[in-house]
Amino acid sequence: MTRAAASWRRLPRPGRAGLVVVLLILAIAVAGPWFAPYPPDASIGPPFAPASAEYPLGTDGIGQDVLSRVLSGGRSVLLLAGLATLLAYAVGVPLGLLAGYSRGVAGAIIMRGVDVLLAVPALLLLLVLATGAGAGAVVLVIGIAIVHVPQITRIVRAATLQTTGRAFIEAAEARGDSTARILGVEVLPNISGALLADVGVRFTGSVLLVAALNFLGLGLQPPASDWALMISENRSGISIQPWAVVAPAALLAALAVSVNLFADGIAQVYARASARRVEASA
Amino acid sequence: MAEVGLHDDGGRHLNPYLRFLLRRVAVGVVLAVLVSLLIFAATELLPGDAAQAILGKTATPEAVEVLRAQLGLDRPAVQRYLEWLAGIVQGDLGNSLSTRGPVTEAISGRVANSLILAGITSMIMIPVSLLLGAYAGTRPGRPGDLVVSGTSLAFIAVPEFVIATFLILLLAIGTDLLPPVSLVAPGTSPLATPLVLVLPVLTLLLASIAQNVRMVRAGVVDTMAAPYVQMARLNGLPEREVVLRHGLRNALPPAVQVIALNLQWLIGGIVIVEFVFQYPGVGQLLTQAVALRDIPLVQALAVLIAVLYIAVNIATDLVVVLLVPKLRTAGVQ
């Protein structure tokens, strides 16, 4: 508890506001479906019915209850973005460790691959993958992970390079520890700060890409309830029934902005901490 | 820029900027070829090829085989890649599966439309970002900075299509001032009906300026706190001089990199904005082609966009090197 309180105090004010809003939206996304008055994917009224006591936010183009869909539509973006970010770290961290530690051919090959992937705009990579493998949640998660891998590999490699040659690494090498053990037990804990400072930024990027692909109709397919998909589905009725677009758009914007503010706050805390370490060691 | 011009570097007598440029272009060409390989592999080697996409899931395996042979998909992938690459170099991009006509025909009018959108956006984005960033960065913590920084914090990370949706609601539906979709008749230029450009450009500006302003501001704050700026102040230079000659000039290279990042972002942003407003550019064509799984068209557009992306990177690298003489030698070697 005291550790949590200490972290809270170190977080800059916009970061704190971001965290509060993120937790609120997380609560809506997780608990929302239990409070939904109707099933999110059933036609229960006339199309584009205005807001009323019966349908608090009206209905959408095929008569589904907007409030129920908004309450159920937050899980997908958080879940898909979370999975994509996790997968990206699962692949990028070992690659970065290897590229930073081994000075041989493996490292060079990994970094040239990173250069090539970085030369392709993120959205373009996802569109090309969707053409080859079809639209859907699995392709979406794998594609977004591929977008993040080069950046993560670069950060992990740079941090790993700074640890090589330090005494505890040389001691482990002298003991004859395996490369896997050295990287996992000695290097990884020492670069966790650099990694954690970056997680929020990656997650923000994932949220934006998941939303963009769902909006373009290349991610989740109807009748899935998803905020970005709702905006896309109900755009044609925006002048008759604006709630079907405004409610998911407002929540999605709040989520993206708050995640970004929180991520920015974490990055600042870690930047200050590492600046202090540099001063202390100098 | 006192040092621009011929510069003797160890008897090679080649303008160092030119050498830097040639080197970067050579790397860029290699990168472009590798990216084309990646695009080809992702679209052709993953399960489900063009024949399957045309005939749909209900087609018999025999019918798919016949079409595969007709399209030449039964030949080895390496051979097809090399032929495709040779075609690109000669300006032959193959035939679109959806229009049945040459890909070059489908693309031709749209490149100009997208460049118009990107050009107008950058022409407004770059000066506005620099001005607002410099304004906020030279008075950190004062009311003017708080307004600029606070507003940009609220806009950072809002998805383009969410901004577009709210703009349509406010300016097209609520007040009837502007068209909610940017339809342009085939064969005419969007410049003939400039009103259709307003909402797409405004969306791209709102989605990008916040991030730009923040990063330019951070660069200016750092430079203004540097010892040589303090020294200039202590020497009694008027604040105007200090800001213009010492502060902003040295904050410019990082600002150029910020803008480079945003030109790269613009390439993705334009795809989404063209989709939202049904603006007939390359981005809208790309999303249509992806939805129809028109593989030759997607490949051509992807290569076009990727090459543009690499070119923008080289151009901004060159501008940064021109602005920072110190990097010139480092970059050349």
User: What 8-state DSSP symbol labels residue A187?
Assistant: I
Which of A123, A208, A239 lies nearest to residue B271, judging by beta carbons? Answer: A123
B262 to chain A, closest Cα gap in Å: 12
Q: A9 pLDDT band (50/70/90 cuts)?
A: confident
Q: Are B165 and A231 in contact (CB < 8 Å)?
A: yes
Dump pLDDT digits (tens) for B308-329.
889 988 888 888 788 776 665 5
Q: For B102, list phi and psi in degrees, rounded to 5.
A: -60, 145
Q: A2 pLDDT band (50/70/90 cuts)?
A: confident
User: What 8-state DSSP symbol labels residue A237?
Assistant: G
B158 to chain A, closest Cα gap in Å: 5
In this predicted structure, what is the pLDDT of residue B139? 85
Judging contacts by C-beta atoms under 8 Å, the chain B residues touching residue A212 are: 159-161, 268, 272
Place of tokens 């409070």: A35
**A205: amino acid identity, one letter:** G
Dump pLDDT digits (tens) for B202-232.
999 998 888 888 888 888 888 888 888 888 8
From A207, A137, A124, select the one nearest B271 (Cα to Cα).
Answer: A124
> Which one of A128, A149, A268 would you mutate to disrupt binding with B, by most B Cβ within 10 Å of its Cβ?
A128
Q: A88, A145 in Cβ contact below 8 A?
A: yes
Contacts of A206 (CB under 8 A, 6+ apart): A80, A81, A82, A84, A85, A88, A144, A148
- How large a percentage of chain A has pLDDT more than 70? 98
> Which one of A111, A115, A127, A129 would you mutate to disrupt binding with B, by most B Cβ within 10 Å of its Cβ?
A127
Contacts for B328-333 with beta carbons within 8 Å, 24 or more apart?
B328/B7, B328/B16, B328/B17, B328/B20, B329/B9, B329/B16, B331/B20, B332/B9, B332/B16, B332/B19, B332/B20, B332/B23
Delimit the domains of chain A by residue range.
23-46+54-281
Q: Are B159 and A216 in contact (CB < 8 Å)?
A: no
In this predicted structure, what is the pLDDT of residue A132? 84
Which whole number is the average pLDDT over A111-116? 90
In this predicted structure, what is the pLDDT of residue B329? 55
Judging contacts by C-beta atoms under 8 Å, the chain A residues touching residue B39 are: 120, 128
Delimit the domains of chain B by residue range.
16-89, 104-329
Judging contacts by C-beta atoms under 8 Å, the chain A residues touching residue B271 are: 123-124, 127
Computed over every residue of chain A, the mean pLDDT equals 88
A32 to chain B, closest Cα gap in Å: 22
pLDDT score of A136 more than 80? yes
CA A169 remoteness from chain centre: 32
Q: For A65, list phi and psi in degrees, rounded to 5.
A: -75, 120
Q: Is A50 left (phi over 0), alpha (psi -120 to 50) or beta?
A: beta
The structure's pTM equals 0.89
In this predicted structure, what is the pLDDT of residue B12? 56
Q: B87, B94 in Cβ contact below 8 A?
A: yes
Looking at this predicted complex, what is its ipTM?
0.88
Q: Are A239 and B173 in contact (CB < 8 Å)?
A: yes
Which of A131, A238, A261 lies nearest to residue B43, judging by beta carbons? Answer: A131
In this predicted structure, what is the pLDDT of residue A30? 92
Which whole number is the average pLDDT over A141-152? 95
Contacts for B98-105 with beta carbons within 8 Å, 24 or more apart?
B98/B288, B98/B289, B98/B292, B98/B294, B98/B297, B99/B297, B103/B296, B103/B297, B103/B300, B104/B300
Place of tokens 């809270």: A8
From B111, B257, B252, select the one nearest B189 (Cα to Cα).
Answer: B111
Pick one of 1.20.210.10, 1.10.10.10, 3.40.1640.10, 1.10.3720.10 as the CATH number of A23-46+54-281: 1.10.3720.10
Which of A122, A246, A249 lies nearest to residue B268, judging by beta carbons? Answer: A122
Dump pLDDT digits (tens) for A38-84.
898 888 888 888 888 888 888 888 889 999 999 999 999 999 999 99
Can you tell me the distance from the alpha carbon of A111 to that of A107, in angstroms, rounded to the nearest whole number? 6
Q: A100, A158 in Cβ contact below 8 A?
A: yes
For chain B, residues with pLDDT lower than 70 are 1-13, 46-50, 53, 57, 325-333
CA distances from residue A179 to A103, A162, A175 in whole angstroms, order as listed = 12, 17, 12
In this predicted structure, what is the pLDDT of residue B331? 45
Looking at the domain covering B104-329, what would its CATH class be?
A: mainly alpha
Strand blocks (E) in chain A: none
Q: Is B49 left (phi over 0), alpha (psi -120 to 50) or beta?
A: beta
Q: B304, B270 in Cβ contact below 8 A?
A: no
**How many A/B residue pairs have CB atoms within 8 Å?**
135
CA A21 remoteness from chain centre: 16
Interface of chain A toward chain B, CB-CB under 8 angstroms: 14, 115-117, 119-125, 127-135, 204, 208, 211-212, 215-218, 228, 231-232, 235, 238-239, 242, 245-246, 249, 252-253, 256-257, 259-261
Q: Which residue intervals of B72-137 are DSSP H helices?
A: 77-89, 103-137
Can you tell me the distance from the alpha carbon of A256 to that of A247, in angstroms, rounded to the nearest whole number? 14
Judging contacts by C-beta atoms under 8 Å, the chain A residues touching residue B157 are: 204, 208, 256-257, 259-260
Which of A120, A131, A228 lies nearest to residue B38, judging by beta carbons? Answer: A120
Judging contacts by C-beta atoms under 8 Å, the chain B residues touching residue A232 are: 161
The number of residues making up chain B comes to 333
> Which one of B152, B162, B163 would you mutate to disrupt binding with A, by most A Cβ within 10 Å of its Cβ?
B162
In this predicted structure, what is the pLDDT of residue B236? 84
For residue B208, what are its two tokens? Answer: 């990008």
Judging contacts by C-beta atoms under 8 Å, the chain A residues touching residue B45 are: 132
